[in-house]
Amino acid sequence: MIPPILARRNAAAFWFAVLLTGIGTGLAAAALTKLLEATQHVIWGGNGLDLLESASAAPPWKHLAALAGAGVLTGAGQILLTRLSSANGIEITAAIWFDAGRLPKLRTLGSALLSILIVGMGASLGREGAPKQAGAVLADTMSDRMRLSDDQRRLLVACGAGAGMAAAYGVPLGGALFSLEVLRGALALRFVLPALVTTLTATGVSWAFLPDTPTYQIPAFHGGISSAAWAVPAGLAIGLVSVVYVRSVARADRHKPAGWRRLLAPLIALTIVGAASIQLPQLLGNGRDIAALAFTGQVSVPLLLALAFLRPAATVLCLGSGAPGGLFTPSLALGALLGGALGLPWGWAFPGIPPGLFALLGAAAMLAASTQGPISAVVLMMELTGYARAAILPLLIIVVTATLIARTIEPRSIYDARLTDDQVRERQRERQGGL
């Protein structure tokens, strides 16, 4: 049972575990972010998390060498993790739903570290996977120490994972909603306070080491009837694309290499990405840079159309080779590119809407549809961009439309990719009952 107040049996142990998980996750997220920055600086030069500018100025040999090196590191790292820990790898979502949040701690932390290193080297995956894994492991460890029940452990692991995202991106409210809506699958009132305490604590701790500014700096967009009307067909299209994207992620995960192929497959896949990035450096990293440019209308039409296909292809290729990494920012970047592309004909027919608004709405729609978390997606986009309610109507319309289409066709989200069909059906039944 989750103690909703302090004056309940076992409340002290549970809330102490919540607090320690938040503190530890904030420190871990800050350390992993600094490691990512250091890796990018050593490999590509430059400072901070901006990769595009440094990669654009790098010679072709560096693109090939960096990504080939990431492929070698991925293969060697996966073999080493298998030998260090006899426990099979398990995704956080599967652990929460089917193993009461229990994780193979050493292997999960090793995968988090490997993920940060290869993303810093240029792999087309997200950086949020590592702090999510670190937060989940810390929550699992606290649950062991405090002897929490399975229900408490399940919630705490979801909160720890959400706190990792919250601390890495500075999104405490969005991280709390993500942990409940997407990972735990229930926006129950008894879960809300633990989630908020965990994410607020983690974010507050991380702000001692990381900037507390929004991830994306955008202009002051204002919605209207025209953008609201565009949101309906665009939401329909993005919902359909998200189904293809989620199924591609699931297929790539099911066909990850085994045996000696774990050494060769990532080398080949990431070298291909490196070769393609010589002409298209926007393929590298998690997609933060290209999304930021799309939000401010600074992506040319040919590049917008090309990257709308090639960015997700690079992400799926990396994932299918066995490379560990997150999917949050790559999905956001895909949505920004799709929104920008879908807005082109509308902008020509009905001028006056900023191109960046189409990208912003597309990013929110893709996040909502691919995670199947519409509420958390809206709040996350607001926190990531410092965006207020000026265009809330088209934002809600496109999010609802895309999520409805995606859920109708495909029950999986990008975080359910490793679940079997029976597990997906079981989760859907429990989720519908929990909501």
**Mean of pLDDT values over 13-35:** 95
Q: How many other CB atoms sit within 10 Å of the CB of residue 280?
A: 18
Per the prediction, the chain carries an average pLDDT of: 90
State residue 435's pLDDT score. 46
| Fold (CATH) for 11-206 | Clc chloride channel (1.10.3080)
CATH 1.10.8.60 fits 225-434, yes or no: no
Give yes or no for residue 184 having a pLDDT over 90.
no
For residue 394 the two structure tokens come to 């088209």
- Identical fold at 11-206 and 225-434? yes
pLDDT-derived band at 178, boundaries 50, 70, 90: very high
**Mean of pLDDT values over 364-391:** 89
Give yes or no for residue 88 having a pLDDT over 60.
no
pLDDT digits (tens, 9 = 90+) for 262-277: 899 999 999 999 999 9
For 227, phi then psi, to 5°, come to: -70, -35
Give yes or no for residue 431 having a pLDDT over 80.
no
- Residues 264-274 as b/e (b if ≥16 CB within 10 A, e otherwise) read ebbbebbbbbb
**Mean of pLDDT values over 107-135:** 94
pLDDT-derived band at 212, boundaries 50, 70, 90: confident
**Mean of pLDDT values over 218-230:** 86
Instruction: Give the separation between CA 154 and CA 411, rounded to whole angstroms.
Output: 21
pLDDT digits (tens, 9 = 90+) for 307-317: 999 999 999 99
CB 47 within 8 A of CB 37: yes
CB 375 within 8 A of CB 179: no
**Mean of pLDDT values over 120-129:** 94
Instruction: Give the separation between CA 67 and CA 74, rounded to whole angstroms.
Output: 10
Domain boundaries, the chain: 11-206, 225-434
CB 116 within 8 A of CB 137: no
Share of residues in the chain with pLDDT > 90 (%): 70
For residue 322 the two structure tokens come to 């066995």
Give yes or no for residue 146 having a pLDDT over 70.
yes
C-alpha closest to that of 376 among 156, 184, 153, 138: 184
Backbone φ/ψ region at 45: left (φ over 0), alpha (ψ -120 to 50), beta: left
Residue 10 burial class via C-beta count within 10 angstroms: exposed 0-12, middle 13-18, buried 19 and up: middle
Alpha helices (H) in 59-104, listed in sequence order: 60-84, 92-98
Q: Taking each helix axis from N to C terminus, what angle separates 189-206 and 11-44, rounded to the nearest 10 degrees?
A: 40
**Mean of pLDDT values over 126-134:** 93
For residue 254 the two structure tokens come to 């099911």
Give yes or no for residue 12 having a pLDDT over 90.
no
Residue 405 or residue 429, greater confidence: 405
| Pick from 119-123, 285-289, 411-415, 431-435: least confident | 431-435
What is the Cα 105 distance to its own chain's centre? 21
Record the pTM: 0.92
Instruction: Give the separation between CA 401 and CA 233, rounded to whole angstroms.
Output: 9
